[in-house]
Amino acid sequence: MDAVNVYIAIILNKNLVSSFSSYDDVILLFNSTYPNNKLVIEKYIIDGIDINIETKNSLDDFIDKYSSGKRITISNATPIIAACSRYFISNKLNILSLSLNASTKIIKTLQNVLSYGFSNQYGNMANFLIYKDYQMKYIHVLYLDKETDSNKLYFRDHLSHTTTQADLLNITVSVSYLEVGKYDYNIKEQSMVLILGSNITTEYITSSFIQIFPKNSFIILNEYYKDIKDIFGSIPTLVQNQVHLNFTPLSEKIYNFVDERSDYIYPLYDILFVSNDFTTNGLELSKENYITVNPYKSTSPAWILNSSLSPILNSAPYGVFQFTFTKDVIVGNDKTLFVQYYGGEQKQLPDSYSIFKIAGITPNNSSLINYDDADYYEIYDSSDNLICVKFNSNITNFPIGKNMNIGKTIKTKFIYKFNNEGYFSKLERLFQYDELVPEVNSTMSKKPIKLKYLI
């Protein structure tokens, strides 16, 4: 069978892209790996001012150029994929829309769409595990609600999940709106504080805010703060980010090739790879066929398998999240040694490589949620010289030409059940827990595990 073209419209909101070169690099890598591929790619950059109109204009141009044949769209964030879905319905076009990262509950309601993003609900569940672990009493949301915010749908979805879950657990949630110059939001001690809103800067996180922040409390930020610096002073502050279930050889290849990395380079490569299969397989490029073909055979994807995407949820029925300190309180002065053996499979922030926890649902245990301490190892030689530092989520070759798998295989801690709607009816451990409640401090009581490697 002769190969046919697959036409792809990539529509990106420029406000949600830290580096367009990362997308171009992924396309370049794919084309150099498969030089004879039949993918025809059109890229559209929108301003995000009126997403519906800008998406419509992009699709009008795309359909005008490619009025027939196998076609798909790829976009970033929920509003664009929602606009694509509505456009194709109104124009009676059976064209599949794919998202690199859309994660709100709206995705489940859309027709003929699939998203590679992990649901906000799974990230919200992970937050409550930390709440339980540190025996918090309150939740306080600091909300920056701007109608002009391109991420407003994302933040409102997070707020909805948080309040719904808290109501089921009889936890008090207070919501305060962030204001420039205001620093006292009446946050109570033993609060988990969630900050929702784009562009959180020192205009809001002032020295006065830091000074009166209550004891035994901490802050969690969502994935849109992957570029945030250490602006929180003495406040324990964590950033939640989606992470790989498995950092595969293909993931590493992409990581090493792309200079300006973003979170969405891996699903972009996977979508191109699966789409390329439709140039030769003779199948209609439909939602059903997209999730049932097996182009990987015995290899592994860069992010997740296309067959992992649920036709009911329109996304994966699982998701794993890493919590990273904004301040480098764990790796600290050992950063040079850490980076020497760092393979790129963990997330880092501009001022921190220090992982706190990893939590989420995995495909092998979809009815339970995993809560991993992400142990940090300090490895010494027989003369007590520090020769390697690593997290159990950071699998590297041990120095001196030897492999060391300590931390690679850990005892999984599946400790909470949840209901069919994806919420906890109560926070309950599935194993006996007789340890002391960890203290809320700069390191959240996380301590390195010291090991001696006898050479």
pLDDT-based confidence at residue 396 (cuts at 50, 70, 90) = very low
pLDDT-based confidence at residue 407 (cuts at 50, 70, 90) = very low
The confidence score (pLDDT) of residue 369 equals 83
Contact 108, 114 (CB under 8 A): no
6-117+246-308: CATH number: 3.40.50.2300
Contact 282, 289 (CB under 8 A): no
For the cut 70, the answer to whether the pLDDT of residue 399 exceeds it is no
- Name the burial class of residue 367, with classes exposed (0-12), middle (13-18) and buried (19+) by CB atoms within 10 angstroms of its CB: exposed
Angle between helical axes of 51-65 and 78-90 (0-180°, round to 10)? 50
CA distance 125 to 262: 24
Contact 390, 379 (CB under 8 A): yes
What pTM value is reported for the model? 0.92
pLDDT in tens, 222-277: 888 888 999 999 999 999 999 988 889 999 899 989 987 777 899 999 999 999 99
For the cut 60, the answer to whether the pLDDT of residue 93 exceeds it is yes
- Determine how β-strand 355-361 pairs with β-strand 368-372: antiparallel
Contact 404, 369 (CB under 8 A): no
Angle between helical axes of 152-168 and 78-90 (0-180°, round to 10)? 110
* Backbone torsion region of residue 384, taken as left when φ is above 0, otherwise alpha when ψ lies between -120 and 50, otherwise beta: left
> Among all chains, which residue has been given the structure tokens 């380079």?
265
Helix (H) or strand (E) holding 195: strand 191-196
pLDDT in tens, 178-222: 999 899 999 999 999 999 988 899 999 999 999 999 999 999 998
Domain boundaries along the sequence of the chain: 6-117+246-308
CA distance 6 to 267: 18
pLDDT in tens, 127-161: 999 999 899 999 999 998 775 666 888 999 999 99
Q: What per-residue string of b and e applies to 251-266 under the rule 16 or more CB within 10 Å gives b? A: beebbebbeebbbbbb
CA distance 112 to 90: 13
- Name the burial class of residue 319, with classes exposed (0-12), middle (13-18) and buried (19+) by CB atoms within 10 angstroms of its CB: buried
- Other CB atoms within 10 Å distance of the CB of residue 413: 18
